[in-house]
Amino acid sequence: MTKPIVLASGSIHRRELLKNAGVDVTVDPSSLDERALEAPLTGSGLAPEEIAAVLAEAKAADVSKRHRGALVIGADQTLSLGDTMFHKPADMEAARRTLLALAGRTHQLTSAVVIVEDGSVTWRHVGVARITLRPLVPGEIGRYLARAGDAILTSVGAYQIEKQGIQLMERIEGDFFTIIGLPILPLVAELRARGAIDG
Specify whether the CB–CB gap between 106 and 131 falls below 8 A. Answer: yes
Segment-wise mean pLDDT, segments of 10 residues, the chain, 199 residues = 89 91 94 77 81 94 95 95 90 96 97 96 97 96 95 91 93 94 95 88
Catalytic residues: 76
Buried-state track 60-97, b at ≥16 Cβ within 10 A, e below 16: bbbbbeebeebbbbbbbbbbbeeeebbebbeebeebbe
Domain count, the chain: 1
CATH code of 81's domain: 3.90.950.10
Please give the pLDDT value at position 121: 96
Please give the pLDDT value at position 119: 94
Q: Is 175 among the domain residues?
A: yes
CA distance 155 to 199: 31
pTM (2 d.p.): 0.90
Q: Is 199 among the domain residues?
A: no
State the angle between helix axes of 92-102 and 138-148 in degrees (0 to 180), rounded to the nearest 10. 130
Domain containing residue 16: 5-193
Q: Is 198 among the domain residues?
A: no
Please give the pLDDT value at position 47: 87
Q: Is 37 among the domain residues?
A: yes
Q: Is 90 among the domain residues?
A: yes
Q: Is 94 among the domain residues?
A: yes
| DSSP 8-state class, residue 145 | H
Q: Is 101 among the domain residues?
A: yes
Q: Is 48 among the domain residues?
A: yes
